[in-house]
Amino acid sequence: LIARPADPAEPVLRVEKPGLLTTVQDLGRPGHRKFGVPPSGAMDRFALAAANRLVGNPETAAGLECALTGPTLLALQPCLVAVTGADFTPTIDGAEIPSWTGVYLPAGERLSFAGRRWGARCYIAVAGGLGGSRWLGSLSTYLLVEKGGHEGRTLESGDSLRLAGPAPRPLIAGRHLSRRLQPAYGREPALATLPGPHFTRLARTSRTAAWKSTFEVSRDADRMGFRLQGPQLEGGGRELLSIGLTAGAVQLPIGGQPILLMADHQTAGGYPVILGVSRAALPLAAQLLPGDRLSFQEVSVAAAQEQWRGTRAALEEIS
Amino acid sequence: MPEKTWPLGDAALLVELGTRIDTALNARCHALAAALEKRSGVREAFAGYSTVTVHYDPERTSYTAIKSAISKLLKEKPRVGPSGRLHRIPVSYDGPDLAESAELLRMTVPQLVALHSKPIYRVFMVGFVPGFAYLGPLPAALNLPRRRVPRTHVPAGSVAMAGEQTGIYPLPTPGGWHLLGRTQMPMFLPENDPPSLLRPGDRVKFHPIGTP
């Protein structure tokens, strides 16, 4: 237990090194798609929700999403932190700390990262949740319009981070989520997926190829979506009247190479939607880097929803 | 034509009421989306031109329950919704594709400007990026396919058209439509909720203004 929890009126962390692309994210701003605003939020929602629970926050609190490299954060006040998602070798003052665990960070010590071992995005939660500017009900940073989070931008050296509110009490370090309860992360995941509205427009051989092939994540992969490279899929290319989209939708543009939509996806589009990746599988996709591979494994709506309940149950183990 | 429904992942579905750009059909989609958003377990319903994408919470409702609710709602006599707000938008018709578009359409630039600024367009939906309104229908005489090579940078405020659609780019983004002119009127209003000047069902009339 920490005797004196951090004061939300004062900065709790100072950014000494920002990392490559570190943004404040919560679970997003659904409900504004009809005005063209994507839900945004953590790419790996499981990892952020787990990090929050590990420090006693509601799952919806804001934390940091760090792509490829982690930041160096100096504690200005003592706090409780948890690092989840990708493994970038988290350390406190040089000594490695366990991931997926609530850890006490004393004032004057530094949380930093010694290098990427696995994965694309790691998450840092702080007891009390990170503050920032709320846009349309969410603290998630949406870089395209420079709104939400820390001044609508990626973190920079010298930034001071405040808590959203007082840390929940008592602060308990040592909460942990075991490996068996984490998603089945890997460098070549099979994503539980449903056929999409325009799947039957694919040529027969392409329907088989969609399920049997592996696709590589191309260099064109960001928070909006991943362009995939794989077998040429035939029959989707024609443009349709634009429809409302969602994260996990797989579009097939002219050219036959699919796009998997992610958190900052465009809210409407006219390319055929051939597949829909399930909610439980999106965290696996969120941890892929260009060059990693994936495949699509057909599931029913009921089976996908059952997998999601399993995911929820794993999160609820953290209490 | 009976509606068609498909899952879109495990927490959303798409229902298609037709396959054309049509004001009455689009109005039906918006009415359906509004009715569905009142149901428990429906998080969000997005009306496209002729479709509705329904985001739902599978712990509170189900794919089949929404599907049957849709069939029921569509049997009811369509209610005529209030006509949306009318926006008069001043446009300087001096875009980089204006002359080429006129040539491709075998008309003069003044004819193109007159045709484009004559109708009162409907906002069929807002999407792609925040504040981007899909307007139409465009007069048939103005239908051109998208540019073969999309631009990587279209300035905010560009008034453009492609196919049966016209619209205004709210933000600097890539884009494949033909750029006819520009407006100074901001489309993306980040400090407002909703953050878009144009809302589904609104009407838009372009007014040509002299170039300074």
Supply the pLDDT for residue B147.
85
Of all residues in chain A, what percent carry a pLDDT higher than 70? 97
Evaluate if residue A314 carries a pLDDT over 50.
yes
Evaluate if residue B77 carries a pLDDT over 90.
no
Per-residue confidence at A9, pLDDT binned at 50, 70, 90? Answer: confident
Per-residue confidence at A299, pLDDT binned at 50, 70, 90? Answer: very high
Supply the pLDDT for residue B211.
54
pLDDT tens, position by position, A126-161: 999 999 999 999 999 999 999 999 999 999 999 999
ipTM value of the model?
Answer: 0.95
Please tell me which of the candidates A195, A197, A242 has its beta carbon nearest to residue B134: A242
Are A242 and B49 within 8 A, CB to CB? yes
Size of interface A-B (CB pairs under 8 A): 139
Assign B63 to helix, strand or coil.
helix
Average pLDDT, chain A: 95
What's the mean pLDDT in A279-300?
98
Evaluate if residue A42 carries a pLDDT over 70.
yes
Are A196 and B50 within 8 A, CB to CB? no
Are B150 and B179 contacting, i.e. CB atoms less than 8 angstroms apart? no
Average pLDDT, chain B: 94
What's the mean pLDDT in B87-100?
97
Statement: the pTM of the whole predicted model exceeds 0.90: yes
Minimal Cα distance from B53: which residue of A? Answer: A244
Are A241 and B50 within 8 A, CB to CB? yes
Supply the pLDDT for residue A238.
65
Evaluate if residue B200 carries a pLDDT over 80.
yes
**Measured between alpha carbons, how far is B33 from B66 in angstroms, rounded to an integer?**
12
Closest approach of chain B CAs to the CA of A300, in angstroms? 8
Q: Report chain A residues whose CB lies below 8 A from the CB of B63.
A: 301
What's the mean pLDDT in A236-247?
83
Would you state the structure tokens that stand for residue A71, as one six-digit string? Answer: 């930041």
Supply the pLDDT for residue B212.
43
Higher pLDDT: A277 or B211? It is A277
Per-residue confidence at A6, pLDDT binned at 50, 70, 90? Answer: confident
Supply the pLDDT for residue A135.
98
CA nearest A222: which of A161, A264, A186? A264
Secondary structure (H, E, C), chain A: CCCCCCCCCCCCEEEEECCCEEEEECCCCCCCHHHCCCCCCCCCHHHHHHHHHHCCCCCCCCEEEEECCCCEEEECCCEEEEEEEEECCEEECCEECCCCEEEEECCCCEEEECCCCEEEEEEEEECCCECCECECCECCCEHHHCECECCCCCCCCCCEECECCCCCCCCCCCCECCHHHCCCCCCCCEEEEEECCCHHHCCHHHHHHHHHCCEEEEEEECCCEEEEECCCCCCCCCCCCCEECCCCEEECCCCCCCEEECCCCCCEECCCEEEEECHHHHHHHHCCCCCCEEEEEECCHHHHHHHHHHHHHHHHCCC
Please tell me which of the candidates A135, A194, A267 has its beta carbon nearest to residue B7: A194
Minimal Cα distance from A264: which residue of B? Answer: B129
Are A268 and B46 within 8 A, CB to CB? yes
**Measured between alpha carbons, how far is B118 from B28 in angstroms, rounded to an integer?**
25
Please tell me which of the candidates B11, B126, B171 has its beta carbon nearest to residue A34: B126
pLDDT tens, position by position, A178-204: 999 999 999 999 999 999 999 999 999
pLDDT tens, position by position, B139-160: 999 999 888 888 989 999 999 9
pLDDT tens, position by position, A50-79: 999 999 999 999 999 999 999 999 999 999
Torsion angle of alpha carbons A257, A250, B48, A36, nearest 10°? -90
Q: Report chain B residues whose CB lies below 8 A from the CB of A243.
A: 14, 48, 51, 53
Evaluate if residue A237 carries a pLDDT over 60.
no
